[in-house]
């Protein structure tokens, strides 16, 4: 589960601040109501079902109430409630790019290391991101992990005279530079179709294989002087200037329409993107496939389930958090909506390793994403990593709308500096 992702289209369903608080209580019937604040389709399943339904069936004394809001408001509201000392939900989901900003407030969360949790089931780096520097406190349990691939429209590739077989397509772009070169070959071959959806996705994909991007290992903000960030910006701008981008702001209504109408041929594709495509463009089933990401590896996405220490039902909330992040539930979510399990212990299980996606032309998704993660670096995140990523996405979208790239870069640097000062 990601990032600013998935959520903008859900903003209209966001509940007001007062409705999202820690309304968990025990009724006269002995049922404990647990509230969970999320962004996006955290634990949803097809046919209007969710994992909560399964938990409630097995725990007749528990009722779960989910409150959704958009990415930015969700994390801002959580910070406000932690500062106030009240109003947080019994469980709060925090995105990977935001979690380090909350680790510094570890006293405001339950320490899962004191709650009989086997942390060895997850990748070391995933656990480390939600842990204090000394490793003594773990504020959240990991849900999914991104992994990176490239989803592409086989019908549009065929129209452009490009190969459609996923192995042959993967061979087209061993690097991101070659991905842009193939985009130039595609450009103009299919009327009214661009190579990719939005510059922000390409930019994020390029940085997905870098250890240090916005922060260094010491926790210093290094955006402006990190050559990897500027190189990713310059290559993305080059592709935009070549007319490869559909210029559809990520997670906007127009972006959703772009999926449905086939307005772009490729999209940087973390595992959770599979569910987004299926949900927004069900009629495109069988027209998509999944190839390797340029560079061969990378990661983008993931979240954590936390239990604020101000809650009234901490023990019950901890048990729900442990259940929601257990391998069985993570496997079910992957098969249903594409959220890839962060438990490395699940990757070799037949339910994962042998999984193919009928929607994506029977692509072996259960092998593609682990292979992407095998050589991915242990990325460094900082308190404002999520905000900075969104800032770059917005800046690149402004370039797509005609803003001078140098001015867009300078504006982004000013916004990032201001955000870092607030953080």
pLDDT, tens only, 350-376: 999 999 999 999 999 999 999 999 888
Residue 69 DSSP symbol: -
In the numeric block, which tokens belong to residue 407? 């001015």
Give the confidence band of 386 by pLDDT, cuts at 50, 70, 90.
confident
pLDDT digits (tens, 9 = 90+) for 31-55: 999 999 998 777 888 878 899 999 9
pLDDT bin (cut points 50, 70, 90) of residue 25 is: low
For residue 193, what pLDDT band results from cuts at 50, 70 and 90? Answer: very high
SS3 of the chain: helix, strand, coil, percent, to 5 = 45, 15, 35
pLDDT score for 28:
54
Under 8 Å between Cβ of 142 and 126: yes
Over 80: is that where the pLDDT of 6 sits? no
pTM of the model: 0.86
As a whole number of angstroms, the distance between CA 290 and CA 363 comes to 6
Percent share of the chain, pLDDT over 90: 74
pLDDT reading at 20 higher than 70: no
First-to-last CA distance in the chain?
23
* pLDDT of 115 over the 90 cut: yes
Tokens of 342: 């962060």
Residue 16 scores a pLDDT above 60: no
85 in the Ramachandran plot: left (φ > 0), alpha (ψ -120 to 50) or beta? left
Exposure class string for 230-260: b at 16+ Cβ within 10 A, else e: eebbebbbebbeeebbbbbbbbeeebbebbe
57 is written with which tokens?
A: 């069936």
pLDDT over threshold 70, residue 291: yes
pLDDT confidence tier of residue 422, bands split at 50, 70 and 90: low
Q: Is the pLDDT of residue 26 over 70?
A: no
Distance CA(185)–CA(373), nearest Å, equals: 29
Rounded Cα gap, residues 121 and 123, in angstroms: 7
Question: What is the Cα Rg of the chain in Å?
Answer: 21
Check: CB of residue 69 under 8 Å from CB of residue 126. no
- What domains are defined for the chain? 8-145+301-340 (3.40.190.10), 149-300+358-422 (3.40.190.10)
């Amino acid at each position: 589960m990601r990032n600013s992702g998935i959520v903008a289209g859900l903003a209209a369903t966001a509940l007001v601040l007062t409705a999202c608080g820690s309304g968990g209580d025990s009724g006269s019937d002995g049922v404990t109501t647990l509230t969970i604040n999320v962004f996006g389709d955290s634990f949803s399943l097809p046919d209007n079902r969710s994992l909560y339904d399964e938990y409630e069936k097995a725990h007749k004394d528990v009722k779960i109430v989910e409150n959704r809001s958009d990415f930015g408001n969700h994390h801002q509201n959580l910070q406000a409630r932690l500062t106030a000392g009240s109003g947080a939900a019994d469980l709060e989901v925090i995105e990977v790019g935001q979690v380090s900003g909350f680790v510094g407030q570890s006293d405001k969360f339950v320490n899962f290391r004191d709650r009989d949790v086997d942390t060895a089931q997850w990748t070391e780096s995933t656990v480390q991101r939600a842990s204090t520097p000394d490793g003594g406190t773990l504020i959240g349990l990991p849900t999914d992990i991104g992994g990176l691939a490239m989803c592409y429209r086989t019908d549009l590739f065929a129209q452009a005279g490009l190969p459609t077989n996923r192995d042959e397509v993967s061979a087209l772009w061993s690097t991101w530079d070659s991905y842009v070169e193939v985009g130039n070959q595609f450009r103009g071959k299919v009327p009214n179709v661009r190579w990719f959806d939005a510059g922000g996705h390409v930019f994020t994909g390029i940085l997905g294989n870098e250890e240090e991007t916005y922060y260094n290992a010491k926790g210093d903000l290094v955006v402006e002087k990190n050559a990897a960030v500027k190189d990713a910006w310059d290559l993305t701008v080059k592709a935009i200037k070549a007319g490869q981008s559909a210029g559809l702001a990520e997670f906007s209504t127009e972006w959703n329409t772009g999926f449905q109408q086939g307005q772009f041929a490729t999209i940087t594709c973390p595992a959770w993107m599979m569910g987004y495509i299926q949900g927004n463009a069900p009629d495109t089933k069988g027209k998509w496939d999944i190839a390797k990401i340029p560079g061969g590896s990378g990661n983008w996405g993931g979240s954590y389930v936390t239990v604020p220490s101000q809650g009234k039902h901490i023990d019950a909330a901890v048990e729900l958090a442990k259940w929601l992040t257990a391998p069985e539930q993570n496997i079910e979510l992957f098969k249903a909506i594409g959220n890839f399990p962060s438990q490395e212990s699940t990757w070799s299980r037949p339910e994962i390793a042998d999984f193919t996606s009928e929607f994506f032309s029977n692509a072996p998704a259960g092998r593609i994403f682990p292979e992407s993660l095998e050589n991915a670096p242990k990325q460094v995140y900082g308190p404002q990593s999520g905000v900075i990523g969104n800032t770059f996405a917005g800046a690149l979208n402004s370039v797509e709308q005609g803003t001078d790239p140098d001015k867009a870069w300078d504006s982004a640097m000013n916004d990032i500096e201001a955000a870092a000062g607030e953080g």
